[in-house]
Amino acid sequence: MLSASRNRALAVGGEAHWSTDSAVRVDDLSVTYRTTLEKKPTLKSTLVRLGRRERIVRQIEALRGVSFAVPHGTVIGIVGVNGAGKSTLMRTIAGILPPTAGRVEVNGRVSTLLALGVGFNSALSGRENVILGGLAAGLTRDQLAEKYDEIAEFAELGDFMDMPMRTYSSGMYGRLAFSVAVNMEPDILLIDEALSVGDARFKQKSFDKMRELCAEARTILIVSHALRSIGELCSEVIWLQNGRIEMRDEPAAVIGAYTRFLGVGQSDVALEDL
């Protein structure tokens, strides 16, 4: 399985129309941000705290000197415990969070599935959300019209596409989001925790779709806790720990080390898509 996807990556590498060799290059990347611990920041609570001279803003060093390169047409898995910096890394590559130090270089059209992000306004229909999301991502109306049918068909939502998204079940949300992300003809696809959307049938379908994208020399970065899927899909796995790269190697090796670190062993529950 592993060597097969490696070979495929090598085979299609020659067709790639890129002058630069890496799809994603991350050099000594550090991301530090300040965020508030409040649930809902308000002026009132700020004034109250000012009176008490408290500070509630905390500095978070999410990434500390991460470097790696991803060649075109490879599938990289990223694993790590909660808060290890996985999502921050994905958002920085997507250009959503700015680097504090270091450099990120991305060659190709990026499509993201980071926060089940289509349904940003649940009062609008699935169709309106897809179009707004696509326009925000920089696609033109013509390109969207071209892709819309594919997206709707892949998501298998039927009449729900024209109903407000608040009527959707969470599985339907996930299906639409996944369908948008994979059908944007991305050169680089960033997926965060979304392998297990929908029912078993849709899961299988999304798995096949990602295989298909790999075969087309698309580059994919996946963050997931579903270690078995990671092991089957990826040609390489990066293990992040406390904002640093703990290990980067073949899937089997990294997953072995990571599960030993977690102390769970490779039981079915541990590897299962949670």
* 155 within 8 A of 179, measured Cβ to Cβ: yes
Q: Which is nearer to another protein, 30 or 259 (CB)?
A: 30
Q: Could you say whether residue 163 binds another protein (CB under 8 A)?
A: no
CB of 6 to another protein, least distance (A): 26
| 226 in Cβ contact with 195 (< 8 Å) | yes
Are 88 and 63 contacting, i.e. CB atoms less than 8 angstroms apart? yes
Residue recorded with tokens 């992040």: 240
Cβ at position 263, least distance to another protein in Å: 31
DSSP state of 114: S
Cβ closest to another protein, residue 98 vs residue 265 = 98
Rounded (10°) angle between helices 200-215 and 2-13: 40
| Residues of span 62-121 touching another protein by CB under 8 A | 91-92, 94-110, 112-121
Stretch that binds another protein, among 28-36, 152-160, 224-232, 244-252 (CB under 8 A): 28-36
Q: Does residue number 138 form part of the binding site for another protein (CB under 8 A)?
A: yes
| 51 scored as a contact of another protein (CB under 8 A) | no
Closer residue to another protein (CB): 35 or 266: 35
Answer for which of 1, 15, 83, 140 binds another protein (CB under 8 A) is 140
∠ CA 224-130-22, rounded to 5°: 50
Bridge partners of residue 173, in order along the sequence: none
Q: How far is the CB of 117 from another protein (least distance, A)?
A: 3
Q: What HEC string does 65-100 produce?
A: EEEEEEECCCEEEEECCCCCCHHHHHHHHHCCCCCC
Please give the backbone phi and psi of residue 28, each rounded to the nearest 5 degrees, phi first.
Answer: 45, 50
Q: Which residues bind another protein (CB under 8 A)?
A: 20, 33-36, 40-44, 46, 91-92, 94-110, 112-121, 123-124, 128, 131-133, 135-138, 140-141, 187
